[in-house]
Amino acid sequence: MEIISESLFKEKVRGENTGKVVVQMSTSWCGPCKKMKVMMDSLSSTYDDINLCYMDIGECTPEFSNVFNIRSVPTTVFFENGRILHTHTGVPVNKEKLNELITTTFQKGANNA
């Protein structure tokens, strides 16, 4: 899983040809975020066409958090070519549920394109 900063966000996530990207927006001190990061790490090699990323929003400007309306962590945002498909707050029950969330989100996004 790639760790990205606010300065890399536009290049890696918001560009029009960035493909499918899942960004876990978390903080280093959050217990549930650490659990989510382990699950994301374990799934990162599962997908050929989906890039999984991690951002510590504690290191971002307040404006950044406001753009995505982040009120609690972890918040996971699903992007396709820079467009937000879905936002999920909280930690799925297990890695299998996270995998299901990722795959169904992008299937729905493809159906709505």
Catalytic annotation on 60? no
pLDDT for residue 108: 81
Per-residue pLDDT of the chain (113 residues; tens, 9 = 90+): 899 999 899 888 987 888 999 999 999 999 999 999 999 999 999 999 999 999 999 999 888 888 888 889 999 999 999 999 999 999 998 999 999 999 999 988 666 65
> From the candidates 1, 30, 85, 98, which is the catalytic residue?
30
Distance CA 46, CA 38 (A): 14
Distance CA 106, CA 111 (A): 9
pLDDT for residue 110: 62
As for how many domains the chain has, the answer is: 1
> From the candidates 33, 43, 77, 85, which is the catalytic residue?
33
CATH value at residue 91 = 3.40.30.10
pLDDT for residue 109: 64
